[in-house]
C-alpha cells in the first residue's frame, strides 16, 4: 500500500530551488533510507513528505489510512529534538507517557493499557531502568532513545526519523538499526530514516533514496530498491 507519494516536487527557501523535480514513493512495510551530502536538503524533504512544507510545484500525497483502513498514525522525530538542557523538569517516564495523550485528551487518566504501552516502548529502547531519572541527567544518546520511545508509545504506522543516531557510538547505532528493522518486520511499521552512515545501515534498507545535485540547480533524487544489488562489491 502506498503511504507517501511525491511527483515532480520543486521547493526552495529563496529564489532558487533547493529540491528540484523530486519524485518518490513510500510503501507500507518498507525500511527506507534517505542519504546525501551535507546541505542536500534531506530534512526539507522529510518536511515536504509530511506536509509541514508546501511545494512550489508538484504534488505531495499522504494516505489518510493505514493498511487496515484505520487512520494513519505518524511518528516524527526531527533533528536535534533530544537536546534538552540539564534543567528540563520532566522525568523519562513522564515524557514517554505524554506520547499516549496524543490519542486523546490531556485531561483523561491513562489506562492500564496506556501504561503497558509506555513500559513496552521504554523496554524496546533499553531505557526502562532509567524511567525515573530527570531527562537533563541523560547522555545525548539516551535522550534520543527516550524521544523515540515516546514516539513508539503513540503506536505509529509510519516512523519518520531525521538522523536519529546522532550522539550514539557504533554499537548503539548498530543496535538501533536492528531495532528499526525489527519494527518493520515484526510490528509491520514503515520507517523512513535520514542518515549519514550509509555504509553501516544500507544492508537493512528495503529502499534507498539518494539526493544528488541536479543539472539545473537544486537536488534531485535517485531511488534504489533492493539496495544490496546496486552498491556492488567493496574494493
pLDDT on residue 82 = 56
pLDDT on residue 15 = 82
Contacts of 85 (CB under 8 A, 6+ apart): 136
Cα separation, 83 vs 61, whole angstroms? 31
- Looking at residues 146-165, what average pLDDT do you find? 90
Backbone angles phi, psi at 228, to 5 degrees: -55, -30
Distance, C-alpha 234 to centroid of its chain: 28
What tens digit of pLDDT does each residue of 87-100 get? 678 899 999 998 88
Distance, C-alpha 137 to centroid of its chain: 24
Contacts of 65 (CB under 8 A, 6+ apart): 71, 72
Judged against a pLDDT cut of 80, whether residue 231 lies above it is answered with: no
Using alpha carbons, list the distances in angstroms from residue 207 to 125, 192, 201, 235.
Answer: 24, 9, 11, 23
- Using an 8 Å Cβ cutoff, are 162 and 115 in contact? no
Cα separation, 83 vs 171, whole angstroms? 21
- Looking at residues 171-181, what average pLDDT do you find? 87
Domain with CATH 3.40.50.300 in the chain: 1-73+160-235
Instruction: Give the closest residue to 61 by CA, choosing from 7, 1, 19.
Output: 7
Task: Work out the burial of residue 18: count CB atoms within 10 Å of its CB; fewer than 13 is exposed, 13-18 middle, 19 or more buried.
Answer: middle
Judged against a pLDDT cut of 70, whether residue 149 lies above it is answered with: yes
pLDDT on residue 164 = 85
Q: Name the one residue in this structure whose C-alpha cell is 523530486.
A: 22
Cα separation, 186 vs 15, whole angstroms? 45
pLDDT on residue 30 = 95
CATH superfamily of 1-73+160-235: P-loop containing nucleotide triphosphate hydrolases (3.40.50.300)
* HEC profile of 171-202: HHHHHHHHHHHHHHHHHCCEEEEECCCHHHHH
Any idea which of 18-22, 67-71, 136-140, 221-225 has the lowest mean pLDDT?
A: 221-225
Give the residue with greater pLDDT, 81 vs 212: 212
Amino acid at each position: 500500500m502506498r503511504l507517501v507519494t511525491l511527483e515532480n516536487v520543486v521547493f526552495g527557501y529563496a529564489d532558487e530551488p533547493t529540491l528540484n523535480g523530486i519524485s518518490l514513493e513510500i510503501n507500507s512495510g518498507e525500511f527506507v533510507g534517505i542519504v546525501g551530502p551535507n546541505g542536500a536538503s534531506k530534512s526539507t524533504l522529510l518536511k515536504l513528505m509530511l506536509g509541514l512544507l508546501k511545494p512550489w510545484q508538484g504534488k505531495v500525497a499522504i494516505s489518510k489510512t493505514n493498511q487496515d483502513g484505520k487512520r494513519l498514525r505518524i511518528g516524527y522525530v526531527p533533528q536535534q529534538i533530544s537536546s534538552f538542557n540539564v534543567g528540563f523538569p520532566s522525568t523519562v517516564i513522564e515524557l514517554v507517557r505524554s506520547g499516549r495523550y496524543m490519542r486523546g485528551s490531556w485531561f483523561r487518566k491513562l489506562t492500564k493499557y496506556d501504561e503497558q504501552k509506555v513500559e513496552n516502548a521504554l523496554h524496546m529502547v533499553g531505557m526502562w531502568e532509567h524511567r525515573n531519572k530527570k531527562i537533563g541527567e541523560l547522555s545525548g544518546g539516551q535522550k534520543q532513545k527516550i524521544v523515540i520511545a515516546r514516539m513508539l508509545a503513540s503506536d505509529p504506522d509510519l516512523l519518520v526519523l531525521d538522523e536519529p543516531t546522532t550522539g550514539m557510538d557504533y554499537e548503539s547505532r548498530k543496535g538501533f538499526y536492528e531495532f528499526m528493522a525489527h519494527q518493520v518486520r515484526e510490528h509491520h511499521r514503515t520507517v523512513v530514516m535520514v542518515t549519514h552512515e550509509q555504509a553501516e545501515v544500507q544492508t537493512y534498507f528495503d529502499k534507498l533514496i539518494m539526493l544528488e545535485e541536479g543539472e539545473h540547480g537544486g537536488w534531485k533524487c535517485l531511488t534504489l530498491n533492493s539496495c544490496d544489488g546496486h552498491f556492488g562489491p567493496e574494493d
